[in-house]
Chains A and B, each alone.
Chain A
């Protein structure tokens, strides 16, 4: 399978990337590690007129400690995140979710920013950043803005990013004393999750992000509130699918996904000490 023909431009800096995006608008698509975009292009589900390759904008590949959060460059590869001492010590949930993405070859290429900007409800990483209440730094022709994870995912494969904007950094709160669990149910080792759950308990705060439980990456808000109000894991997990519309497909029906969400969040909460 070969993608439809496209023009290719390599950007050497984030400024150059933004200027190319501004020039080409809707026709352009950013290429980072390529492990979301290239498969879509090979299946001809995406056929951008121009691909802007930001894969070598090395200034956007870093993990830094900045006050109460970790600043992670959008082009940091999964492998670097899952092995980063800073990530492992301060936000173990993100490392655990990242380690479950695809397989080693995929994680050598794929980037955190690419996975998030793709906005796929079946992806593991959005569930972790939602549970962690991370925020996103977005840069465009008119400057920089910060968007909360909750406001970033707007629909199926849709995010708050405008066509001429670039996701540059993910800010993840440092929570070295949190307890957490990443749960993923799939059929084969490298498969996407049928349902997954990122569970985080930090002091009295509870964060639960879900994989494949709606048309976009979502939090289990009713469950989180129940835990914060003192419910047990058993009681709270009953609310895991409340208000959500999980898809029905060849892998699982809506009812089965809701069941999995209850089971996986219960396990996750228990593993996190609830």
Chain B
């Protein structure tokens, strides 16, 4: 598969989960494992441009497909506008949910470029922040959508 534009190839058991492939075979540790049961969204990555929970995708399902992780968003030293907005709005506390939250938010704005606050909240229903820092997360996504339009 291609991860962040780089071809990654490995022989793995069919039961290998995409999140384990990303963390162990590709050595990209930005994608976190949270609940491991497709509830919390910490493991969210993009598969062919759409947000998915990589704990509930087999690595073989992503064979020959394009995967983007949090490490693939920034352009060198230049942060992705969503990362920039998260920094500006202090949209993180402990940071554990952040990579998944950012990936889900980028996918949301691809589908709904200028969402309302309600659309942001509903669009992020698959991502939990147990610091309950939702207020600033929603603010950051709205700010990023503004800078886009």
Alpha-carbon distance A79/B47, docked complex (angstroms): 14
CB of A39 closer than 8 Å to a CB of B = yes
CB of A104 closer than 8 Å to a CB of B = yes
Assess the A39–B37 pair: CB atoms within 8 A.
Answer: yes
- Proximity bits, A66-108, B CB within 8 Å = 1, else 0: 0000000000000100000000000000000000001111101
**Nearest CB to that of B41 among chain A residues?**
A105
- Proximity bits, A37-48, B CB within 8 Å = 1, else 0: 011011100000
**Nearest CB to that of A108 among chain B residues?**
B50
Question: Among A2-10, A113-121, A144-152, which stretch is in contact with chain B?
Answer: A2-10
Alpha-carbon distance A51/B52, docked complex (angstroms): 20
Distance in Å from the Cβ of A52 to the closest Cβ of chain B?
11
Residues of B contacting A53 in the complex (Cβ-Cβ under 8 angstroms):
60-61
Contact A39 to B14, CB < 8 A, known contacts A1-B37, A53-B61, A105-B51: no
Task: Say which size band chain B's interface belongs to.
Answer: 20 to 34
Residues of B contacting A24 in the complex (Cβ-Cβ under 8 angstroms):
none
Residues of B contacting A104 in the complex (Cβ-Cβ under 8 angstroms):
51, 104, 107-108, 111, 123, 125-126
CB of A190 closer than 8 Å to a CB of B = yes
Residues of B contacting A109 in the complex (Cβ-Cβ under 8 angstroms):
47, 52, 56-57
Alpha-carbon distance A103/B104, docked complex (angstroms): 11
Alpha-carbon distance A225/B33, docked complex (angstroms): 49
Task: Find B56's partner among A35, A51, A79 (CB 8 Å cutoff).
Answer: A35
Alpha-carbon distance A105/B60, docked complex (angstroms): 18
Task: Find A102's partner among B14, B20, B107, B126 (CB 8 Å cutoff).
Answer: B126
Distance in Å from the Cβ of B59 to the closest Cβ of chain A?
10
CB of B2 closer than 8 Å to a CB of A = no
Most buried by B among A35, A38, A39: A38
Task: Find B126's partner among A31, A43, A51, A190 (CB 8 Å cutoff).
Answer: A190
Task: Say which size band chain A's interface belongs to.
Answer: 20 to 34
Residues of A contacting B47 in the complex (Cβ-Cβ under 8 angstroms):
108-109
Alpha-carbon distance A104/B50, docked complex (angstroms): 9
Assess the B15–A55 pair: CB atoms within 8 A.
Answer: no
**Nearest CB to that of B36 among chain A residues?**
A1
Distance in Å from the Cβ of A242 to the closest Cβ of chain B?
34
In chain B, positions 27-52 with a C-beta closer than 8 Å to chain A are 36-39, 41, 44, 47, 50-52
Distance in Å from the Cβ of B138 to the closest Cβ of chain A?
14
- Proximity bits, B86-106, A CB within 8 Å = 1, else 0: 000000000000000000100
Assess the A6–B15 pair: CB atoms within 8 A.
Answer: yes
**Nearest CB to that of B65 among chain A residues?**
A56
**Nearest CB to that of A50 among chain B residues?**
B14
Q: Which 4 A-B pairs have the closest CB atoms?
A: A103-B126, A8-B14, A189-B125, A108-B50
A-B contact pairs, 10 of them (CB 8 A): A2-B16, A7-B14, A8-B58, A102-B126, A103-B125, A105-B41, A105-B53, A105-B126, A108-B52, A109-B57
